[in-house]
Amino acid sequence: MLYHSPISGDRLRIGKFCSIACGAKFLFNSANHILHSLSTYPFPLFYEAWEHGLSPREAWDNKGDIAIGSDVWIGYEAVILAGVTIGDGSVIGTRAVVTRDVPPYTIVGGTPVRPIRGRFPRERIDALLEMKWWDWPAGRISAAIPLIQSGNFEALKAMF
């Protein structure tokens, strides 16, 4: 987590059963600079030195929290920017830079990311999002692991 300032109040929410590779980075709002200002320098952060009356929160553009859904795989050295939501079941490629939201069950890659393909057909994605197997009780998940691992969607759907 980079630029996670207590002043900002930013939050990182990570769902269940996520895989986050080594070197993945989450850049929070305090890494941003105000682009509509005539200067990109963060004067409000140095409120004591400059006596300008601005709040330190006015030092950056606030894009919002970072939200990672459940069953997400974030690849090696991927970078996730503030304000991004990554949908359930998505895959973020190695060294990708995620600058915008990623729909559920979408594989993305590149700098900035672009969709590569969906992991499954739309109707299967909708069914998986409805099932939310990651919210099942532990015993039920344990019983479903062979079905999840083998990709036996119909049998998993029958458990729902």
Omega prior to 115 cis, within 30 of 0 = no
Please state the CATH superfamily assignment of the domain spanning residues 1-119 in this structure: Hexapeptide repeat proteins (2.160.10.10)
CA distance 133 to 144: 9
Report domain extents, the chain: 1-119, 120-160
Comparing CA positions, the residue from 74, 92, 76 lying closest to residue 17 is 74
Strand partners for 99: none
pTM for the whole structure: 0.87
Q: CA torsion 62→63→65→67, rounded to 10°?
A: -170
Residue 8 has pLDDT above 90, yes or no: no
pLDDT band, residue 47 (cuts 50/70/90): low
pLDDT tens track for 52-90:
777 766 677 788 899 999 999 999 999 999 999 999 999
Least confident interval from 32-46, 120-134, 143-157: 32-46
Q: Cis omega before residue 6 (within 30°)?
A: no
Q: Report the DSSP pairing between strands 73-74 and 19-20.
A: parallel
Greater confidence (46 vs 152) lies with 152
- Residues annotated catalytic, as ranges: 33
